[in-house]
């Protein structure tokens, strides 16, 4: 079975470049039957076999640790988590059964990846029509004389300053994909390009040189919507 990036490339060659099955087979280096299978594939929501994590013990806790490290970026250095403190919290609050060394190794790698991302000096300041940005945000609402926090998925269009939001109960993958689907329905189409801020719901981790490894479900979500990019920037001058 081909990896998801290869499947998407075959779909791209077929739908965007209009290549024949044989041309695709030659360019990708696969049998023509394999090329045809993915070039004509319609259902990208097939059951996914979960991939074994590089650290099986840490697997269920990676999203938690990543969230803590992201929150630390907003805190003074002396108030941030140490790797040992993260281990103690996982053990005490989430019944983590792994060793401290496992946590220390993972935290060290994730911090290095986050530092690499922050070290990037290039940032686009101009956005063409139809280009969007997606991220979670939190708002506080007064209810019964108390402040209540609510999570929102925001899809904004920098070119026109238009934005669409959808409330979510949590910042996990299921809520993220459902919110994106609902926002697309609000807009009536799919943006030409969407920028994501390394959401854990979409990005497994950052490889060397800044390359992202995406989650399987997010790659399937992209494959499903890639041929539906029909929207222009809302409110943008024509």
pLDDT at position 118, please? 63
pLDDT at 85: 93
Q: What is the mean pLDDT of each run of 10 residues along the chain (238 residues)?
A: 71 77 83 83 58 69 88 80 93 91 91 70 60 85 83 86 87 88 87 77 66 77 69 46
Predicted TM-score (pTM) above 0.75: no
pLDDT (0 to 100) of residue 217: 83
Say whether 164 sits in a helix, a strand or coil: strand
The pLDDT, as a whole number, for residue 79 is: 84
Cα angle, residue 196 at apex, residues 11 and 183 outer, rounded to 5°: 80
What is the structure's pLDDT at 51? 47
Say whether 34 sits in a helix, a strand or coil.
Answer: helix
CATH level 3 topology of 131-228: Nucleotidyltransferase; domain 5 (3.30.420)
Residue 235 is predicted with a pLDDT of: 47
| Residue 121 pLDDT | 43
CA angle 179, 183, 187 (to 5 degrees): 175
What share of the chain in percent tops pLDDT 70?
77
86, 103 Cβ separation under 8 angstroms: yes
- Residues sharing a CB contact under 8 Å with residue 81, sequence separation 6 or more, in sequence order: 68, 69, 72, 89
The pLDDT score that the predictor gives to residue 44 is: 59
- Where in the chain are the domains? 4-39, 62-118, 131-228
The pLDDT of residue 89 is: 93
**Which pair of tokens denotes residue 11?**
């779909």
Query: CA nearest 127: which of 210, 201, 191, 186?
Result: 191
């Amino acid at each position: 079975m081909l990896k998801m990036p290869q499947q998407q490339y075959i779909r791209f060659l077929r739908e965007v470049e209009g290549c024949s099955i044989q041309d695709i087979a030659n360019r990708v280096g696969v049998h023509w039957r394999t090329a045809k299978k993915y070039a004509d594939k319609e259902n990208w929501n097939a059951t996914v076999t979960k991939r074994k994590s590089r650290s099986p013990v840490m697997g269920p806790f990676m999203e938690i640790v990543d969230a803590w490290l992201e929150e630390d970026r907003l805190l003074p250095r002396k108030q941030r988590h140490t790797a040992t403190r993260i281990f103690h919290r996982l053990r005490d609050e989430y019944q983590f059964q792994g060793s401290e060394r496992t946590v220390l190794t993972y935290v060290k790698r994730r911090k290095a990846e986050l530092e690499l991302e922050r070290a990037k000096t290039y940032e686009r300041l101009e956005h063409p029509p139809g280009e969007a940005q997606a991220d979670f945000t939190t708002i506080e609402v007064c209810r019964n004389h108390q402040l209540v926090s609510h999570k929102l998925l925001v899809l904004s269009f920098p070119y026109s300053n238009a934005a669409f939001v959808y409330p979510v109960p949590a910042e996990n993958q299921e809520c993220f994909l459902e919110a994106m689907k609902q926002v697309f329905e609000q807009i009536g189409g799919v943006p030409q390009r969407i920028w994501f801020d390394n959401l854990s719901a979409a990005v497994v981790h950052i490889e060397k040189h800044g390359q992202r490894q995406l989650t399987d479900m997010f790659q399937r979500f992209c494959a499903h919507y890639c041929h539906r990019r029909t929207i222009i920037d809302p409110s943008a001058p024509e």
